[in-house]
């Protein structure tokens, strides 16, 4: 991927996940802030957060059911 092209959706997902775990590389960090759009990262971040909450809710429900 060239530096001037927009990141693909998989690149955005990987960047959001990597930054969520705190392992985002400086190169990807710079790419995200120079070529990416805020709304794309926001949308992926919100979806990832909702999936995390749903998984936690499911785990707690299963543990409390036993």
Tens digit of each residue's pLDDT (9 = 90 or more) over 4-44: 578 899 999 999 999 888 888 888 888 888 887 889 999 99
Sign of CA dihedral 46, 52, 57, 62: positive
Residue 56 structure tokens: 């936690």
Residue 23 structure tokens: 């392992």
Could you give the CA distance from residue 57 to residue 51 in angstroms, rounded to a whole number? 10
- pTM for the model: 0.77
Supply the pLDDT for residue 2.
52
Cα–Cα separations (whole angstroms), residue 20 to 37, 38, 52, 58: 18, 16, 11, 21
């Amino acid at each position: 991927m060239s530096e001037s092209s927009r990141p693909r959706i998989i690149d955005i997902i990987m960047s959001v996940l990597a930054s969520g775990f705190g392992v985002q590389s400086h190169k990807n960090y710079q790419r995200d802030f120079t070529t990416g759009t805020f709304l794309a990262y926001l949308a992926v971040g919100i979806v990832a957060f909702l999936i995390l909450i749903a998984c936690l809710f499911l785990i707690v429900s299963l543990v409390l059911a036993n």
